[in-house]
Structure 1
């Protein structure tokens, strides 16, 4: 059971008053704080929907200041209902102290002064309001959205007949599935806090989707179809708990030992033998300092391009970042740009599809991966999202991003989850009448091969919207570094120095080409099948220059065979049309003929001389002969 919370001795009291809340408010429609008053009714909820849900105040000012204006014309009991909704929304989180919860509840209650807040109510006892775990700063920063979800969810629940309400409240998974189906609850943390505090025997004490994803991935239970299925994840976590309870009966908590899945810098305990570390676990269950009611703060998103020549670890670095995002429970999408990639592929656009009845076609707006990820980021403002783009410069970047080239700039982003207003840049996408802004919790990480297109040639508008991290060749990373007497890092440095002299530093050979070589045969194959073809591409099939980079000489060598093409022999009857000047032709020789000393010669290495056999002592031999 997830009732076990080592550092929260008051947890059973919290679960007890939550159970009373279900009976008193959700089933009997009675007020939680005003004895004998029927309060949780459709009539009072409709007033809150009219004055709060349908009239959001997106201007400046704190939550409680704006709430006073929104509810100024409401009846006293409507305001009392809002206060009780605040009570249940903040019951589970410990990121706001019990004292602050009472103070804020009093602020709401005092919007209308008809009733006195019953300070002696057991539901306002400080010992019952310390919370069960942290919901993070985002819960308070987006409190107005959590309250919208609470009003709409409870109003729909109260509108049901009592028997249906009782059935939902007696079936935790049915309640979670119903709650998750409500449109206003998309991305809201109240789903997690409410499910746990009302049904602690079924749902884990994890108040962010990120943490649930972390745990599922850490215990190797993640499946690709779990992405947006919150009830499905909760079922998986419940099955995991059943298994962990067998191993650690009565002491299963992911924020503490012995399980420790979400314990910062702690040892991960999984149900199998593999110990997968989980990174980025910064949301712990302990109390935090009180959070103010300011609007969500603007976060500067990171737009990063990893650039460098082929084989320098750009894709490897991006894969490492993807793995860290996966382990941290973050959401991400991977795309690869190519020459025919378009705005409609990446962002979205109108596309013809077959009509539902199969007769003819209809034109609909198709969302691309970037627009889809942006919508997910807006719906989950407390989470982090990343778009990974491989080979960003292979496509026409200005054409692919279109008008969003301005919006991806970190300073032009909009606060995730916000509505169109004066903050940030908003546009109306072609084919859609919805205002759109790129959220500040969406990051871009891309790779760029400088051999395909130099960074200096990139659109200046794109260059100033990204930061660039160079991935140069790093010969010291080559392992093993020695094959026989061949020093691979020295060989790579020498060839890259020649390339930089003849071309530039954008055209180089990456260290990845020489990783994992163990035999002379391996070295031969890399030179013949990877290095020389790359040099041919760099020099547009000019094998004379390829030979120069590889060997450092214009003389014949074991690596290339040359022959003269004589026009007098090839075109004996076209001397005046062709000319008389011969030209050389080169081709690569058989790699099997390349010896170790030949490869050493590419960078000036010397084959260690073998020790000469010991020669006989001439003087001693002569003396012996004479004595004989």
Structure 2
């Protein structure tokens, strides 16, 4: 039997095994049975270069992929195989293993060809989502379209009918007609407007708000939930947000601009008015509008209310994203049509070209075909082309005031300012409010700060406390990493990592995100929130090696670079703040290069200077302690000449009795000083020991300092 015959026999026998089994079989069990049925020859046992398994096994794995593409079998992600109806039919048709294999390969090739044609057809016929976030939004928007608009049932509570005329009328009275109500925020105003509302009205309004904020980059995840939850929490019989919808709040499709942020009531009033008209339509009329994107557009445009083209474009997108795409700014759509009109084949006087939305769709489809996939008008070379177009004629004469709400489109959403330093924060850190406020202001202004000083000065504790103070109660977050000599760009940002690809232990390399990349993604998704990266011991790593091309972005946050591994454009979000800590006893600040010092502001935390100088006495007083630990530390640092060798207060800010203080002194503080005085032959106990310091307690600290200097001389 030839190698080809053996391979074909194994392939057919594998499918026969699956046909005889009532349950899916594990991949490894199938191979063992196949190898027993068609034994391996010496030729089969030869190992393929760079592969851990013999030639026959390697060929078998690849051949079964043809069976999957042919539709004869399925493979689960956890290593189980099962036969399909098509596979059962194929076994009946071909008894000969070689003929069976040829038929399977031919069918697999045909399936691949059809799939490619289908994908090509999609590129020619529908506007594709430009990124995975938008794809997620489209999926959940379909839930609102089918359950809310088509079946008129609740999107959040299955089987409950709230998309009704009387409920829509109540929303008109309570929300649309009550614009001026008391409240410090939109959520507060909603509470007032719906304080006496029915549960059905609260539920429908919550669903409409969720629908409206679903594709928006701003507000972020937390505020999206807040706007929806404030109404659901008012209900007498509360309803929860479905997990699918809640999860989608983390995604977004486009930046709506500041016009949407400052015109929330106008935007949502259009949505409520649309639903009020919608409930009066017949089932047939609603189906026609949901099935025809152009009729749906005309319906959206005739809804009463302010022109607000961004909101109306969003409504067009939410129901028919395949026709209108993720660009909702009328100004941007105008510029894109001007910049790429030449991509559309045919006569410039074609009636379709006179319709601005149809022309935009045709341009997008043409670029998708040229790009062989989805396109993003806000990224890469496409953005640089259309955003430079200055000559934008009026292509939308039918939309009065089209630019009225779009003046602010494309402007990055406002980031929430840092909260002020509080007495509670000061009491926790034993640091005065003015110093904390000055540091917060510096961090907010410079974005990158390094706390440097000797050991025990609370650098990392302070960094984490400030990050928690700013991000607490928001969508913001803080991540801490520690640099060390072997820490790399691949650890910090992104790199390829080996992962097991199957139960046999075969490895493949996948691109894995590091802590900074994950933080950057979260910051981009929540542009109004603050995010912190705390880098402990920043001077212990090779900073240029760890940051790589990102080093440039620390100084130029608005610039875009191409990433080393993923080879895609990347901008470091401006709402990421970096706090590094540096132990000056380990490495002097002077050893950092000028480029590093230019990118960071430096804040010294030193035992002899405010605020660290007063931390231990304040802590001792707050704890009601009567011991002399604060005085001992003061005298110890007075005896240490080297500025960076002095000892911080955190060593002694613990629940210690006299024996505990003595233990900390002997096993933590003195070994630290021994490293500093290595090779000098100094009697540490005589100079820095507790007994020596207490014996000299009556002497001024300046005298101790002079004595230490004399010893060195």
TM-score by length of 1: 0.46
TM-score by length of 2: 0.41
The structure with the largest helix share of the pair is 2
